[in-house]
Amino acid sequence: MNKKEKAAFIVNKLEELFPETPIPLQHWDAYTLLIAVVLSAQCTDERVNKITPLLFAKADNPFDMVKLTVDEIREIIYPCGLSPAKSKAIFNLSKILIEKYNGKVPSTFEELEELPGVGHKTASVVMSQAFGFAAFPVDTHIHRLAIRWGLTNGKNVTQTEADLKKIFAKELWNKLHLQIIYFGRKYCPARGHDAEKCPICSVVG
């Protein structure tokens, strides 16, 4: 199978297995999504979804967030890990949103990536899921699966993102990245993976 054939098979199989792709992180606007994605770094979505209701009960917008201290934020988000860095980022990005953007989350990659604690992957998630912009956020799970499926040489997530964007049609990106995440969790884990039983690895591997 060449890459084009693999890609066609993968798209069809993912559509068959995961026709619906609800966004894993609970949120209701661009700001709550941004904060949830910042919290999700090196943390499971499941844990983030347990913590965000506690945080958003106190502050679900930048104006209320800056009324909390960094220490108060850190105490709430502690179970998500990396809480000293994440609490500072959440406080400081909220401050910038107020000062520079009237409390609104900007809708360009450049502006998002200038915010504290926001890297390219976080910006990609917000651009695709909050603003509907075509993006292909690549996390460690997608990176791992793309290597397994022979779609990239896997030097780094930046290279993987570029390779996947070349292989898959742009109109598929936003849904496809979620489908791959769901597939990885259910069928293609990092450990204890049985390639022969995997609906995709057994065919394209």
Cα–Cα distance for residue pair 185/168, rounded to 1 Å: 21
Task: Based on the residue annotation, tell me whether 121 is a catalytic residue of this protein.
Answer: yes
Decide if 165 contacts 172 (C-beta within 8 A): no
Ramachandran sector of residue 98 (left: φ over 0; alpha: ψ -120 to 50; beta: rest) = alpha
Catalytic residue among 100, 139, 155, 175: 139
Decide if 105 contacts 34 (C-beta within 8 A): yes
Catalytic residue among 58, 121, 175, 194: 121
Decide if 1 contacts 52 (C-beta within 8 A): no
Task: Based on the residue annotation, tell me whether 64 is a catalytic residue of this protein.
Answer: no
Active site residues: 121, 139
